[in-house]
Structure 1
Amino acid sequence: MNEKKSRVIKDDRTRNWTFVAYPESVPQNWRDILDEQHIQWIESPLHDKDLNADGEVKKAHWHILIMFEGNKSFEQIKGLTEQIHATIPQKCASVKGLVRYMVHLDNPEKVQYDRNAIIGHGGVDVAEYLKPTSSSRYQLIGEMMDFVRDNDIIELEDLAYYARTERFDDWFPLLCDNSAYIMGEFIRSRRNRAKSRQVLVDYKTGEVYN
């Protein structure tokens, strides 16, 4: 009796791919070549301060993430990276993780690059991928609470203005999106407690009363 063996064909396609581009290797119009694909793609800041394990500065490079609406094969993407003389493409397991890595957001031991220097092409919303994780969100809320206590903040306006001018990349989006309520209640509670501790004095008689 002949047994039929099922053959599983491995699909190497995926929607999101990443590669590295070196300034001295890519053509001058490399961005135009990618834009002409009419896709969404993200360009990291130029990594020109990264270090090897021995402390030597790595060659300056960009991390590139390209995103498609449908799956693309390795050969299809390799044809594109060869056009701009970039490295061999690799599958991107996490878009959010890679975008955060573009500025070493979760790697404080590495050089921190400016998140505002991340460039989104094709209408991609980079800020969406830079939103804090749940654990980091709680840490940032804790930082704001400490700031309120240390600086005797009694109005949400003062915290919001400071966040907009001094902590625009982390505190301000958090306040605008979903943390204004808890911070407003925290400040209100402190203000009410301060009022309850006030000693009222009748300056005519000198009598102290609550």
Structure 2
Amino acid sequence: MKEKYARDWTFICDPESLPTNWREILNTEQTAWVESPLHNKDVDSEGNLIKPHLHIVMMYKGARSYSHMQTVTNLLDQEAPKVVVATRGMIRFLIHEDNPSKYHYNYEEIICHGGANIEKYFHVSPTAKRREKQKKDQQILMNVITYTIKNKIISYDDLMQYILDNKKYDWLNVLSTGHRAMIVSALIESLERKKLTNK
């Protein structure tokens, strides 16, 4: 069978079995490579925790053979390497960015080595950012409305006191927008009238 060649390769590491100088070993490849956050919250299909592990992505300027990459993983005493079919998808998988059913790890915990630049793989268009912010703001507003109704808040200053006491700055940001503040203010007035009517 013909040996595989590719520029981008990936493999999984068991942190407990890695040699202490494993990063130095990978740095001798003199190429860009990326280290995932420690995946210690992954679960299998039955909901059982999977053994903590790391995902490594090696990105070469020129193609490397499977046998070369196997030499690298053997030096680390780790699983066999695999060709990266889609680099963008693989890099985003390091934090499960596109996998809603999996635990999402922190982007800030991805470690880049050898001049690796991964920002382009997480680029979001300004339009998409606006939509995402609107969606988030709407959800926060729903949380404010739900709290106000559930706790029968009939004074805007009581709501503000709750926000300050609980450091809900995201609520404060959302309510700083005129029309959202008006919605909540109208709701509080309605709840107040309802309370007076029911006396």
**Would you say same fold, with TM above 0.5?**
yes
Alpha-carbon displacement from aligned partner over 1:5-26 (angstroms, at most 9, x marks no partner)? xxxx956211000000001111
CA contact (8 A) 2:35 2:56 kept: yes
Alpha-carbon displacement from aligned partner over 1:148-185 (angstroms, at most 9, x marks no partner)? 9x99xxxxxxxxxxxxx98xxxxxxxxxxxxxxxxxxx
- Measured in 1, the distance between the counterparts of 2:44 and 2:61 equals 35
Q: Which runs of 4+ in 1 moved over 2 A?
A: 137-140, 143-148
Q: What secondary structure is seen at the aligned counterpart in 2 of 1:112?
A: coil
CA contact (8 A) 2:7 2:61 kept: yes
**Shift in CA distance, 14/48, structure 1 to aligned 2, threshold 3 Å:** same
1:12 aligns with 2:4: yes
- State the partner residue of 1:68: 60
- Measured in 2, the distance between the counterparts of 1:80 and 1:144 equals 43
Alpha-carbon displacement from aligned partner over 1:62-93 (angstroms, at most 9, x marks no partner)? 00000111111100100011001111000001
Residue type matched to 1:118 in 2?
A: I
- State the partner residue of 1:105: 97
- State the partner residue of 1:180: none
1:58 aligns with 2:50: yes
CA contact (8 A) 2:3 2:66 kept: no
Residue type matched to 1:30 in 2?
A: W
- State the partner residue of 1:87: 79
- Measured in 2, the distance between the counterparts of 1:145 and 1:130 equals 19
- Measured in 2, the distance between the counterparts of 1:13 and 1:108 equals 32
CA contact (8 A) 1:119 1:126 kept: no
1:77 aligns with 2:69: yes
- Measured in 1, the distance between the counterparts of 2:3 and 2:70 equals 16
- State the partner residue of 2:120: 128
CA contact (8 A) 2:9 2:81 kept: yes
1:143 aligns with 2:139: no
Residue type matched to 1:144 in 2?
A: K
Shift of 1:140: 3.0
- State the partner residue of 1:30: 22
- Measured in 2, the distance between the counterparts of 1:55 and 1:145 equals 33
CA contact (8 A) 1:103 1:113 kept: yes
**Can you give the 5+ residue segments of structure 2 that lack an aligned partner in the other structure?**
142-168, 171-176, 180-199
Shift of 1:139: 4.1
Q: Sequence identity, in percent?
A: 34
**Can you give the 5+ residue segments of structure 1 that lack an aligned partner in the other structure?**
1-8, 152-164, 167-186, 191-210
**Shift in CA distance, 12/145, structure 1 to aligned 2, threshold 3 Å:** same
- State the partner residue of 2:108: 116
Shift of 1:126: 2.0
Q: What secondary structure is seen at the aligned counterpart in 2 of 1:32?
A: helix
Q: What secondary structure is seen at the aligned counterpart in 2 of 1:55?
A: coil
Shift of 1:131: 1.4
CA contact (8 A) 1:118 1:126 kept: no
**Shift in CA distance, 18/144, structure 1 to aligned 2, threshold 3 Å:** same
- Measured in 2, the distance between the counterparts of 1:10 and 1:82 equals 21
TM-score (norm 1): 0.62
- Measured in 2, the distance between the counterparts of 1:27 and 1:143 equals 42
CA contact (8 A) 1:44 1:64 kept: yes
